[in-house]
Amino acid sequence: MKKVGEGNEYDVIIIGGGATGAGTARDCAMRGLRVLLLERFDYTNGATGRNHGLLHSGARYAVNDSESATECIKENMILRKIASHCVEENDGLFISLPEDDIAYQAKFIDSCRKAGISAEAIDPKEAIRIEPSVNPSLIGAVKVPDGSIDPFRLTLANVLDARQHGAVTKVYHEVVKFIREQDRIVGVCALNHKTKEVETYYAQFVVNAGGIWGHHIAEMAGVTVNMYPAKGALLIFGHRVNNVVLNRCRKAADADILVPGDTITVIGTTSSHIPYDEIDNMRVTPEEVDLLLREGEKLAPSLATTRILRAYAGVRPLVAADDDPTGRNISRGIVLLDHAERDGLNSFLTITGGKLITYRLMAEWTTNLICKKMGLNEPCRTAEVPLPGSRQESEEVKERIASNNVYRAAEGRHGDLTKEIPLDNEYDNSLVCECEGVSVGEVNYALKELEISDLVSLRRRTRVGMGTCQGELCACRAAGLLSQAHNCTEKAKADLVNFLNERWKGMYPIAWGESLRESQFSAWVYGSVCNLSSGKTK
């Protein structure tokens, strides 16, 4: 076990590799603090990677929660600048259907404007022109500056920038114990899941950015943060049905947001309270799928005949307030807890609540508090300095994009960092994933630079296996490259089995029609032709 003074001392330890943790690591590092980020599994494994990917304008919260709405629109505008390679500026429509109360529209527009969100009522015919997939029986529409955001890219860009500013980041490091001296947290013990060893780290401050898991992390530290696990299920459709985000102009309800992103469209969400012990094993039920489809078709009727690629679910990290069974009336506002003030436990902070889109603001608040406590007077610059990937592209990159299709696909994912990807010879150019245009060069870049440990993390970093075939052949190809890189075929094969099971988890809830065809095909290829099996390879 390492002792104090052996390179395991930091100013701040951040627990959690979601958008908030990564954003906080970036902000702290940019202000000159020595930062260690510990993530239990992989980045974006929790709610960050399991939502709509909606760049909220805040309009959805305008009527009931003007504070959140105001935060949203401000952050929305900031992200368009600092994370341009993660954002699609699609706009959004809030539509009223014949069954909706059209009177709500006026109240909605008024609330939006008060929160600083531009909201313009448009003619239903104009709405159909802007978004041909919209339900043609709509009776009203309001245009707002919604958009789409890729949370995987966003989080990774924050991690990369934190590292460029000196932060140390460790995935597969699970905090298992806090080190406490009297009324002060002075460090943590983290289980390294790869080596199975417990490592000890010390810091002046420890930040709990564990999302829904923050409940348990706080408990370990000896304080109580009551989280309210609200499960939200979503469906991914196999192509981009809509180009504009579609919402229902009514009080927030199930399955009333349809978000386009990259090559796909997402409908969600449901909302149901689940027991805390289920948060690590969420499965989408047939009832949730049916509900999402039934409601989704009201936004865009063509969803009824569009192939569904996957179903997935996340848990909103809401802080429990009253006894609301739906979890919808709990504020989505940011909760920053200074446990010194609240519980008399020094050096420990919890940052939770909020939304994906307010992650930067959450990081700013947290870092401000730490700086204040440390007596530092460094200003926050995260709202102005673009993230890696969203900086000026060099002429060289532009030229290569113009001449190479494979490069163009990579550019969409990595922005100006595409220059790091070797695509100069035909071997680097060979495609691993044909649906998403992921090349050998891109996979090798990710293996080298982006903390890839398995196929699931590779998928998050590059979109390998996210396309229409859901990893039919590319999973196996990527496993081959992984086994070369890590020089361990047993692990690569075990990874492949694990990846296929993860994929199945998202597919079986919606496995009928084309999805069942695809499932049967891959069962034959991997189960019969390759003779793979769970647990161990035969």
Partner 1 sequence: MKFDTIIIGGGLAGLVAGIRLQEKGRQCAIVSTGQSALHFSSGSFDLLGKLPDGTEVDNPMGMMNRLDAPHPYSYIGSEAIAVYADEFSEMMKRAGVNLVGNVSQNHYHFTPMGSVKKTWLTLKDFTILDRPDNFPWKSVAIINFPGFLDFYTKFIADELEKHDVKCKLSLVKLPFIEKIRTNPTEMRSANIAKTFEKEENIDAFVEAVSPYIKDVEAIVVPAVFGIYSDKPLLYLKSKLNKDVCTIATMPPSVPGIRMQQQLIHYFIRQGGTFMLGDTVERADIEKDEVKAVYTANHSDIKMTADNYILASGSFFSRGIIARPDSVYEPVFDLDVFYDTDRSHWYDTDVFAPQKYMSFGVITTPDFHAIRKHVTITNLYAIGSILSGHNALHEGCGGGVSIMSAMHVADNLLKNK
Q: Mind giving me the DSSP string for 324-343?
A: -SSS-SS---EEEEEHHHHH
Rounded Cα gap, residues 16 and 174, in angstroms:
9
Q: Does 280 bind partner 1 (CB under 8 A)?
A: no
Spell 515-534 as b/e; 16+ CB within 10 A means b: beebbeebeeebeeeeebee
The CB-of-310 to partner 1 minimum distance in angstroms stands at 14
Q: Does 283 bind partner 1 (CB under 8 A)?
A: yes
- Ramachandran assignment for 283, one of left (phi > 0), alpha (psi -120 to 50 degrees), beta (any other): beta
The CB-of-499 to partner 1 minimum distance in angstroms stands at 10
Give the residue with the Cβ less far from partner 1, 110 or 524. Answer: 524
Give the residue with the Cβ less far from partner 1, 101 or 278. Answer: 278
Q: Could you give the string, one character per residue 289-328, with x where binding to partner 1 holds by CB under 8 A and - elsewhere? A: xx--------------------------------------
Give the residue with the Cβ less far from partner 1, 3 or 538. Answer: 538
Give the residue with the Cβ less far from partner 1, 394 or 520. Answer: 520
Rounded Cα gap, residues 21 and 38, in angstroms:
9
* Binding-site member from 174, 420, 434, 449 for partner 1 (CB under 8 A): 434
The CB-of-516 to partner 1 minimum distance in angstroms stands at 5
Residues 533, 527: contact at Cβ < 8 Å? yes
19-30 vs 151-164: helix axis angle to the nearest 10? 30
State which of positions 475-534 bind partner 1 (CB under 8 A): 476-477, 479-481, 483-484, 489-490, 492-493, 497, 500-501, 503-505, 508, 511-513, 516-517, 520-521, 523-534
Q: Does 397 bind partner 1 (CB under 8 A)?
A: no
The CB-of-129 to partner 1 minimum distance in angstroms stands at 33
Give the residue with the Cβ less far from partner 1, 150 or 436. Answer: 436
Q: How far is CA 22 from CA 17, 201, 207, 489, 517, in A?
A: 6, 18, 11, 32, 39
Q: Could you give the string, one character per residue 83-122, with x where binding to partner 1 holds by CB under 8 A and - elsewhere? A: ----------------------------------------
- CB neighbours of 266 closer than 8 A, spacing ≥ 6? 52, 53, 234, 235, 236, 237, 258, 259, 260
Residue at 268: amino acid letter: G
The CB-of-484 to partner 1 minimum distance in angstroms stands at 6
The CB-of-522 to partner 1 minimum distance in angstroms stands at 8
The CB-of-529 to partner 1 minimum distance in angstroms stands at 5
The CB-of-508 to partner 1 minimum distance in angstroms stands at 4
Q: What are phi and psi of 386, to 5 degrees?
A: -65, 150
- CB neighbours of 488 closer than 8 A, spacing ≥ 6? none
Upstream peptide bond of 169 is cis (omega within 30 degrees of 0): no
Q: Which long-range contacts (CB under 8 A, 24 or more apart) does 402-406 make?
A: 404/429, 405/437, 406/431, 406/437, 406/439, 406/441
Rounded Cα gap, residues 138 and 57, in angstroms:
21
Q: Could you give the string, one character per residue 229-268, with x where binding to partner 1 holds by CB under 8 A and - elsewhere? A: ----------------------------------------
Rounded Cα gap, residues 532 and 537, in angstroms:
6
Instruction: Give the start-end residues of each E strand in 59-139.
Output: 87-88, 92-96, 120-122
Give the residue with the Cβ less far from partner 1, 378 or 514. Answer: 514
* Binding-site member from 431, 449, 456, 468 for partner 1 (CB under 8 A): 431
Give the residue with the Cβ less far from partner 1, 102 or 304. Answer: 304
The CB-of-519 to partner 1 minimum distance in angstroms stands at 8
Give the residue with the Cβ less far from partner 1, 340 or 473. Answer: 473
Q: Does 456 bind partner 1 (CB under 8 A)?
A: no
Residues 46, 315: contact at Cβ < 8 Å? yes
Longest Cα–Cα distance of the chain, Å, equals 69
- If one counts every other C-beta atom within 10 angstroms of the C-beta of residue 333, the result is 16
The CB-of-530 to partner 1 minimum distance in angstroms stands at 5
Residue 361 exposure: Cα atoms within 13 Å on the Cβ side: 21
Q: Does 427 bind partner 1 (CB under 8 A)?
A: yes
Give the residue with the Cβ less far from partner 1, 331 or 498. Answer: 498
- If one counts every other C-beta atom within 10 angstroms of the C-beta of residue 375, the result is 6
The CB-of-531 to partner 1 minimum distance in angstroms stands at 4
Rounded Cα gap, residues 507 and 446, in angstroms:
26
Give the residue with the Cβ less far from partner 1, 126 or 287. Answer: 287
Give the residue with the Cβ less far from partner 1, 320 or 530. Answer: 530
Residues that bind partner 1 (CB under 8 A): 283, 285-286, 289-290, 405-406, 426-427, 429-432, 434, 439-440, 473, 476-477, 479-481, 483-484, 489-490, 492-493, 497, 500-501, 503-505, 508, 511-513, 516-517, 520-521, 523-534, 537-538
